[in-house]
Amino acid sequence: MPAEFLARTERRLFRRILRGFVLLIAFLAFGLSGFYSYQQLQLLKQYSSDFKDSYIDSQFALLREHLQREVTIIRSELLQGTFDPAMTLERLRQHRIGPRLNGYFFALEVRSMRGGPDFARHLLLPIDPSQVGVPMDSSLQDKHGFAYREVYLQQLRETGTARVTYWYEKPDAERTVSEKTSYLVLLPELDWIIGAGLYLDDIEEVIASHTHQQRQRLLASFVFSVLITAVFIVAALYFAWNYNLNLMSLLRSLRKQIQDREEKLVALNNSLQNRVDQAAVELERQYLVDALTGMGNRARLARDLAFVRSPRTFCLVDVDGFREINEIFGISSGDILLQELARRIQECCEGGVVYRFSGDNFVVLCPRVEDSALSRYLETLHDCLVDNSHTPPAIADVQFNVTVVGTNEASNPLGRLEMTMHHAKAQRRNTLCYSEEFNAVQRYRQNIAITQKIRQAIDEDSVFPVFQPICDLQSCEITKYECLMRIRHGDEVLSPGEFLSVAQRSKLYPRLVGIMLRKSFAAFANNHYMFSINLSYADIVNEDIRQSIMDLLTPHNAARVIFEILESEGIDNYGEVSRFIQQVKELGCKVAIDDFGSGYSNFEHIMKLQVDYIKLDGSLVHGLRDDPRNLHIVESIVFFAGKVGIHIVAEFVSEQELVEIVRRLGIAYAQGYAIGRPEPELLLQPPFECGNGSRPLGE
């Protein structure tokens, strides 16, 4: 009974395998046939698409070639003096192009390239000769509302050629309207526009005919593939029958082998699972532990930071000049130094967790240290780490220092530590605590806020000039004013020091300067006073600012305008500055060097620029009372200026005593709080009386 049952089971299995094999073969055969047909269909689509693109490109290339050839012939005849308009138009009238020869040439006589109701008239229109000489309106639209004439006029104005697609009548019996693409060329020497176009449905008919032929070929190929598939299935059935007979005999012999090997596989699987578990533990250790120092690595630090809940102090330790140590003493000594430093950090930071953050950087998660004690804690940690009393003999000759920074901020501690380390290195500090001043994000937000204030001031017309008076020390009269920029924001008035550097890095700066220039010129439009405008080198080379200046200068005001070039910024291109100075001086303006003595200028530069005024920097003026060197420097400048005919203005004259000193030095003009503060209204008289006499200092 068991043998009969086994035989019946094997026969059933044989039939199922045979049936499954036949179904598989049929599925594969028809599937492959269908896939092949599908691929052929896709290839046909791609071929048709490529043929369409290629055919369209070739037709339009031929169109452009015909058009360009006619333009070349016309221009050649013009050069040779043999051009005959009537013959040319007749030749173009006879010419037909395109797959159905529905394309034609047309010619326009241009009256206005800007368009309008009579911008041109047809010289040639083969499909409707009655339109020749009739005024053409550039705003004419096709049946879809497209003003195609405006489009090709704009292209012709820009490049001299145009391509435009629109709906237009065909030259057939039905006068149907079809989509058309035309190329046009402007002949400015004749005021002609020559054009030619193709109707897209003519091209589509050729493409459709070609596609139909390809589909017929594909259908024949599909029928053939079905026949081949049927033959393949019959052959496969024959081979499947024989294959299954052999398979059943193999099954009987394999049954015993499978049972024997199953037990071996179970034992092998258990052994492999144990090895995998051990390898996983080792891999995790290698992933989270630094191999050199045995401390946690960067990955371990990132994982631990995610689980920090109690307040901590975060420290970063960096070895100064570690690359040089490696180069001089060797990499092995550098490795020993890192191992020793890791050990010292572990000892010095009691209760802390040490991580090797990068090559020569260690991060320490310490128990919380109060902000008031953090600076001292970092100094103690630094001294502990550089103590060489227990240095290993292998690195006894290596003298090293470390930089230690720290923060109590739990938000983005690594970013704050790296910012603090950057500042510590720049300031050559051994230790440094994090400060919000280091936060580039905070500075960025402040700059954004200032930019918003500037934009709001421009929109609300809150940018305005103030005027600081300049006194003639001989006549004791105010004869000039310096125009200075201010911004009103609510009840607050911002001076340039609060916004100018941010504005100069934005696109708002030229607008600020333009407003300042217009309002300053307007303030002095109806009086006789001279006034000065500050210009940096960047202002001079800015095309928009220079144009604003030239637009504001007139014969009435130019002689009263002084341009102060900021000497403290330095001048990169004397040629550019000299050209500007020459240009404004030819109009009658004066030029001054501002902040003389604070930056890069010398007497040679002054001579090159041919200035009319030198404005002494406040640092020189303030030192006149107490510093004999400042006195000698100013006396030299006064002597030089007197020899070459340059007037001197002393800036930052803040007290009456300084007024007398600069007057006795022979300086012609004074400016500062002793004369008057910058105000929106003009101060007409100085707040003191001048004596008539003067005597040199030291007499």
CA 421 – CA 434 distance, rounded (Å): 9
CA 396 – CA 309 distance, rounded (Å): 41
Domain check: are 512 and 573 in the same one? yes
Q: Tens digits of per-residue pLDDT, 578-602?
A: 899 999 999 999 999 987 765 445 6
The DSSP element (H or E) to which 459 belongs, if any, is helix 440-459
Name the domain boundary from 162, 178, 202: 202
Q: Tell me if 560 sits within 8 A of 590, measured CB to CB.
A: no
Please report where in the chains the tokens 């697609």 appear, as a residue. 165
135 DSSP β-pair partners: 121
Mode of pairing for the β-strands spanning 590-596 and 613-616: parallel
Phi, psi of 109 (to 5 degrees): -100, 115
DSSP string for residues in 372-423 = HHHHHHHHHHHHHHT--TT--GGGTT----EEEEEE---SSHHHHHHHHHHH
**Closest to 360 measured CA to CA, from 324, 312, 410:** 324
530 is written with which tokens?
Answer: 């001279």
Integer-rounded Cα radius of gyration of the chain: 46
Provide, rounded to the nearest whole percent, the portion of the chain with pLDDT above 70. Answer: 92
511 is written with which tokens?
Answer: 């607008």
In the chain, count H helices and then E strands: 19, 21
Domain check: are 321 and 397 in the same one? yes
691 is written with which tokens?
Answer: 């004596």
> Looking at the domain assignment, is residue 279 inside a domain?
no
pTM recorded for the entire structure: 0.43
Q: Tens digits of per-residue pLDDT, 271-282?
A: 888 887 776 677
* Integer CA distances (angstroms), 523 to 55, 534, 555, 639, in order: 70, 16, 17, 35
**Closest to 560 measured CA to CA, from 594, 597, 523, 596:** 523
Residues 6+ apart with CB under 8 A from 570: 537, 599, 600
Domain check: are 568 and 504 in the same one? yes
CA 250 – CA 385 distance, rounded (Å): 76
Mode of pairing for the β-strands spanning 647-650 and 669-671: parallel
CA 597 – CA 564 distance, rounded (Å): 14
Name the domain boundary from 392, 423, 438: 438
Q: Give 1 or 496, the one with higher predicted confidence.
A: 496
Averaged pLDDT of the chain: 86
DSSP string for residues in 165-178 = EEEEE-SSTT--EE
**Closest to 614 measured CA to CA, from 584, 637, 588:** 637
Q: Tell me if 404 sits within 8 A of 431, measured CB to CB.
A: yes
CA 190 – CA 78 distance, rounded (Å): 9
Q: Flag whether pLDDT at 6 surpasses 70.
A: no
* Integer CA distances (angstroms), 124 to 86, 88, 106, 312, 606, in order: 10, 10, 5, 89, 69
Domain check: are 521 and 646 in the same one? yes
Range of the domain at 94: 90-202
Give the count of beta carbons closer than 10 Å to the beta carbon of residue 409: 15
> Looking at the domain assignment, is residue 629 inside a domain?
yes
**Closest to 516 measured CA to CA, from 590, 571, 466:** 466
* Confidence band of 93 (pLDDT split at 50, 70, 90): very high
Largest CA distance in the chain: 146
Lowest mean pLDDT, pick from 236-250, 266-280, 330-344, 431-445: 236-250
Q: Flag whether pLDDT at 25 surpasses 90.
A: no
355 DSSP β-pair partners: 296, 363
For residue 317, give the 3-state DSSP assignment. Answer: strand
Q: What length does the chain have?
A: 699
**Closest to 162 measured CA to CA, from 172, 151, 148, 152:** 152
480 is written with which tokens?
Answer: 């000039």
Q: What is the mean pLDDT of residues 310-338?
A: 90
> Looking at the domain assignment, is residue 75 inside a domain?
no
Domain check: are 467 and 434 in the same one? no
> Looking at the domain assignment, is residue 138 inside a domain?
yes
> Looking at the domain assignment, is residue 5 inside a domain?
no
- With 0-12 / 13-18 / 19 or more C-beta atoms within 10 angstroms meaning exposed / middle / buried, residue 472 is middle
Please report where in the chains the tokens 């500042």 appear, as a residue. 423
What CATH code is carried by the domain that includes residue 100?
3.30.450.20
Domain check: are 431 and 338 in the same one? yes
pLDDT confidence of residue 501: 83
What CATH code is carried by the domain that includes residue 494?
3.20.20.450
Q: Tens digits of per-residue pLDDT, 469-503?
A: 999 999 999 999 999 999 999 999 999 888 888 88
DSSP-based helix, strand, coil % in the chain, nearest 5: 55, 20, 25
Domain check: are 475 and 434 in the same one? no
> Looking at the domain assignment, is residue 338 inside a domain?
yes
Q: Flag whether pLDDT at 241 surpasses 60.
A: yes
Helices (H), 460-523: 496-504, 509-523
Q: Flag whether pLDDT at 689 surpasses 70.
A: no
Domain check: are 425 and 516 in the same one? no
DSSP string for residues in 583-595 = HHHHTT-EEEEEE
Q: Flag whether pLDDT at 73 surpasses 90.
A: yes
> Looking at the domain assignment, is residue 378 inside a domain?
yes
CA 356 – CA 340 distance, rounded (Å): 12
* Confidence band of 113 (pLDDT split at 50, 70, 90): very high
CA 349 – CA 170 distance, rounded (Å): 92
CA 83 – CA 97 distance, rounded (Å): 24
Measure CA 240 to chain center: 67
pLDDT confidence of residue 691: 52
**Closest to 96 measured CA to CA, from 88, 84, 104:** 104
Measure CA 63 to chain center: 42
Region of residue 469 (left: phi > 0; alpha: psi -120 to 50; beta: else):
beta
Domain check: are 592 and 638 in the same one? yes
Name the domain boundary from 403, 438, 473: 438
136 DSSP β-pair partners: 120
What CATH code is carried by the domain that includes residue 399?
3.30.70.270
Q: Tens digits of per-residue pLDDT, 164-207?
A: 999 988 876 677 888 889 999 999 999 999 999 888 888 888 88
Q: Tell me if 349 sits within 8 A of 366, measured CB to CB.
A: yes
Q: What is the mean pLDDT of residues 665-690?
A: 88
> Looking at the domain assignment, is residue 160 inside a domain?
yes
Domain check: are 414 and 340 in the same one? yes
Domain check: are 387 and 533 in the same one? no
Domain count along the chain: 3
Domain check: are 631 and 483 in the same one? yes
Q: Flag whether pLDDT at 698 surpasses 50.
A: no
